[in-house]
Amino acid sequence: MIGGTKRMCEEFVLSNGLRVVAEPIENYPSVSVGLWIGAGSMYESAEENGLSHFVEHILFKSTENRTTKQIAVEMDALGGQVNAFTAKECTCYYAKVIAEHLPRAMDLLCDMLLNARVDEAEFEKERGVILEEIAMCEDTPEDLVYDLLAEAYFGEHPLARPILGSHDQIASIGREALLTFKKKHYRPDNTVLAIAGQFDRTQFRDMAERLLGGWHAEGETHIPAPVESTKPRMLTRKKDIEQVHMCLAFPGVEQDDEDLYPISVMNNLSVDCDCDAHPAAPEMGDIGILASTDPVALDKACVDLVYASDDPGKVHLIERIESRHGTHTLDHAAAIGLGDPDYELIDIDN
């Protein structure tokens, strides 16, 4: 029950094994549809790091049926939103359009997915775009700190690697490696088609079968190893800026654990404020610009994150977070070496 209205999701499987989750919403003028692929940084080897995101870029270039310009023009003509994103566990290609444009949106998404042309010139152009993205992340400490946190928390596990990949890795990766990666992970049994909004169940089922039912793949996709227990560590990176950004991570619950929802409520009650905008929070003192918490549920792991930013050198930032979460951060603050190393990973004994 959501808002007093009972919603029913229908699940079915196409002839090639592709799973479909459909939720019609009556009297809704638009529809959202997405193709979710089990391809993210968690599924990459060290040599493949960044390829999930690279493939996402390439699929928005030309196909066997459309030029790059035609794809862009058609996306604009739909009058909605056609986009994609890459995460740790998946890559999603989606469209949000008015209901009458669903067939055109589906045709465009499926053409990009199944008929992409990996042109050498476009490949090199996107390599440059991604290298710029990596450079931007390095210059954005509130983004960089999360990559450092994943590296410190997950250690040698693929979840520790950045979604964008490293500069050296992207600069050296070849077109054939991208094609091999796409073939391994882009397959019907590793894909979910999801739709919600105004659509006809029978017509959509027939449409999905017509557009995607002939898609087949051989072999098996890569399944990452489970996350092993982690030990306390700190990873620091010095930058010549006016703020210090820090994250803490704690073991959480599994994605399908019922305790995930109480933890989400607890996080909202715990710390989630812009301290400059909310001076009525005296317990936060003058610790900074932003403090928030967030449980990140993954298929293979769940961590509880604490994020804060402040002026550098203020140890009371660590003290406030410690008092809120019962951690032992302050005891180890000297081990961080704030202001000393440019980049340092430190193991901390319990």
Q: How confident is the model over 221-250, as a mean pLDDT?
A: 79
Pairing, β 191-197 against β 19-24 = parallel
Which pLDDT belongs to residue 217?
Answer: 83
**∠ CA 42-256-191, rounded to 5°:** 50
Q: How confident is the model over 114-133, as a mean pLDDT?
A: 95
Pairing, β 91-98 against β 30-37 = antiparallel
Scanning the structure block, which residue is given the tokens 């203020």?
314
Scanning the structure block, which residue is given the tokens 């996306």?
75
Scanning the structure block, which residue is given the tokens 């440019």?
342
d(C-alpha 54, C-alpha 63), whole Å: 16
Which pLDDT belongs to residue 285?
Answer: 44
Long-range contacts at 313-316 (CB < 8 A, ≥ 24 apart): 313/244, 313/338, 313/339, 314/244, 314/287, 314/288, 316/285, 316/287
Q: How confident is the model at residue 48 (pLDDT cuts 50, 70, 90)?
A: very high
Q: Are 210 and 310 in contact (CB under 8 A)?
A: no
Residue 96 amino acid letter:
K
What token pair was written down for 143? 């983004």
d(C-alpha 130, C-alpha 51), whole Å: 11
Answer whether residue 45 shows pLDDT above 50. Answer: yes
d(C-alpha 196, C-alpha 150), whole Å: 32
Q: Are 49 and 169 in contact (CB under 8 A)?
A: yes
Q: Are 309 and 243 in contact (CB under 8 A)?
A: yes
Residues involved in catalysis: 56
Helix (H) or strand (E) holding 189: none
Q: Which phi and psi (to 5°) does residue 244 adopt?
A: -120, 135
The contacts of residue 181 (CB under 8 Å, 6+ apart) are 39, 44, 48, 51, 52, 55
- What percent of the chain lies above the pLDDT cut of 90? 51
What token pair was written down for 136? 């931007």
Which pLDDT belongs to residue 298?
Answer: 59
Which pLDDT belongs to residue 280?
Answer: 46
d(C-alpha 75, C-alpha 108), whole Å: 8
Q: How confident is the model over 43-72, as a mean pLDDT?
A: 94
Query: Hey, how many other C-beta atoms are within 10 angstroms of the C-beta on 169?
Result: 20
What token pair was written down for 83? 């986009």
Residue 236, CA distances (Å) to 88, 133, 233, 239, 275 in order: 22, 21, 10, 10, 24
Q: Which phi and psi (to 5°) does residue 220 adopt?
A: -130, 150
What token pair was written down for 346? 């430190």
Which pLDDT belongs to residue 308?
Answer: 56
Query: Hey, how many other C-beta atoms are within 10 angstroms of the C-beta on 15?
Result: 12
Q: How confident is the model over 160-174, as a mean pLDDT?
A: 95
Distance of CA 283 to the CA centre of its chain: 33
Q: Are 14 and 212 in contact (CB under 8 A)?
A: yes
Which pLDDT belongs to residue 309?
Answer: 59
Residue 208 amino acid letter:
A
Q: Which residue has the higher pLDDT, 281 or 231?
A: 231
Answer whether residue 141 shows pLDDT above 70. Answer: yes
Q: How confident is the model over 58-69, as a mean pLDDT?
A: 93
Q: Which residue has the higher pLDDT, 3 or 58?
A: 58
Answer whether residue 127 shows pLDDT above 70. Answer: yes
Q: What's the mean per-residue pLDDT of the chain?
A: 80
Which pLDDT belongs to residue 343?
Answer: 44
Answer whether residue 339 shows pLDDT above 80. Answer: no
Q: How confident is the model at residue 128 (pLDDT cuts 50, 70, 90)?
A: very high
What token pair was written down for 16? 């090639």
Q: Which residue has the higher pLDDT, 55 or 252?
A: 55
Answer whether residue 294 shows pLDDT above 90. Answer: no
d(C-alpha 304, C-alpha 218), whole Å: 38
Which of left, alpha, beta for 313 (phi over 0: left; psi -120 to 50: alpha)?
Answer: left
Model pTM score:
0.80
Answer whether residue 104 shows pLDDT above 90. Answer: yes
- What percent of the chain lies above the pLDDT cut of 70? 74
Which pLDDT belongs to residue 317?
Answer: 47
Which SS3 state, helix, strand or coil, does residue 205 take? helix
